[in-house]
Amino acid sequence: MNSNNLITNSYKNKPSSLGHSHIVPLDFTNMVTVPDSHEWVTESVPVIDLSDPNAKTLIGEACEKWGAFQVMNHGVSMELLNQAELEAFRFFSLPANQKLRVLRSPESIIGYGVPRISSYFPKLLWSENFTMMGSPIDHAAQLWPDQPHKQTTFCDVMEECQKEMKALTERVVELMLESLGLTMEDLKWHSRGQCLFTLNSYPMCPEPERAMGLCPHTDTSLLTVLYQSSCTGLQVFQDVIGWIPVPPIPGAIVINIGDLMHILSNGRFKNILHRAVVNKTRHRVSFAVIYGPPSDEMISPLTKFTNDEHPPLYRPVNWKDYIYSKALHGNKALLHLMN
């Protein structure tokens, strides 16, 4: 037999793109640290400095590859973020009977309760949620009826933080559109965008590996802008790799693409699947602006992203109906909208 036909010769003349072809194994005995050459660190979502002149392009790339990124130099005051975190801890540390005064009704979005997505999973979550829209004054009055000072502080901080995070959200939406050659004018409702402000609490858990803080989901929003402070827990899902932690970076804010932005971009921007895991030693709190279009505005793939070769992937839907559909179908809601 011609020796050239043997399988053992398969690598003959193979070009070595990384120059790794003739590496001999490390002598692993007595190694006390891992040399740089052997360090495998899983890449996580990009961190983008909004003062970088290249920020727009980096955002576009991050939206297509990941559907999530962290931003620095975002213009939201650190002092305000710290105050909001403190107020969130104060709220969640209230006795259960006091928090139950502002229990969310089954029909409503706002108020205190289990995260909405709980309803479409068989097991319960190791978390609590308090969602606001605009001023939480009515809820604050129920929470602290005899302490007007506490009501004012809570409302002032929540309203101001919501305002600054909403401004950041709109700036990021603008950069996302610009990265695709569009402007805010292409969203005819752009001055009427609305947001919810939500506080998430993940108490310490005696057996974290048996529990789940927030189960895997994509957000219904256009964009969710989240502050997770210094406690790890948020993870994003990437095909092939699996769950990847989004490490807390001091001062950074996380941006997640939601289902509606995925629809607008006709699938070009990824709606990131994410979850929050819990831990044994720290009570974790996060808060987010959930940004979307006016409730009745129909959202469909922008014409810029559709043509004969790329027909619209989804039928038009408004945010209100989509939220309802998500409550019915959970993570399959988008499939129900497919053409």
Ligand X SMILES: O=C(O)CCC(=O)C(=O)O
Site residues for Fe ion, 202-241, by CB under 5 A, read 219
- Phi and psi at 191, nearest 5°, equal -85, 0
> Strand 253-257 to strand 242-245: parallel, antiparallel, or no bridges (unpaired)?
unpaired
Q: Is residue 263 within 8 Å of residue 318, measured between CB atoms?
A: no
Residue 220 partner contact from ligand X, ligand L37FFZMX, Fe ion, none using kind-dependent CB cut-offs of 5 to 8 Å: ligand L37FFZMX
Binding of ligand L37FFZMX by 116 (CB under 6 A): yes
Q: Which is nearer to ligand L37FFZMX, 179 or 224 (CB)?
A: 224
Q: Which is nearer to Fe ion, 48 or 214 (CB)?
A: 214
Q: Pattern 234-273, binding to ligand L37FFZMX, x per CB under 6 A?
A: ----------------------------------------
- Spatial neighbors of 79 by CB under 8 A, at least 6 apart, are none
Say what the alpha-carbon torsion angle 76, 126, 274, 271 is, to the nearest 10 degrees: -80
Residue 208 has which token pair? 């974290």
Of 135, 177, 142, 183, residue with least CA distance to 159:
135
Binding of ligand L37FFZMX by 115 (CB under 6 A): yes
Is 284 part of the annotated catalytic residue set?
yes
Strand order in the sheet with 253-257: 47-49, 68-72, 253-257, 223-227, 284-292, 194-202, 128-132, 111-113
Residue 139 partner contact from ligand L37FFZMX, Fe ion, ligand X, none using kind-dependent CB cut-offs of 5 to 8 Å: none
Q: Is residue 261 within 8 Å of residue 285, measured between CB atoms?
A: no
The residue ranges that bind ligand X (CB under 6 A) are 198, 200, 214, 219, 224, 226, 228, 233-234, 274, 276, 286, 288
Q: Which is nearer to Fe ion, 170 or 219 (CB)?
A: 219
Q: Which is nearer to ligand X, 69 or 144 (CB)?
A: 69
CA angle 254, 73, 181 (to 5 degrees): 75
Q: Which residues bind ligand L37FFZMX (CB under 6 A)?
A: 109, 115-117, 129, 131, 196, 198, 200, 217, 219-221, 224, 290, 323
Q: Annotated active-site positions, please?
A: 284
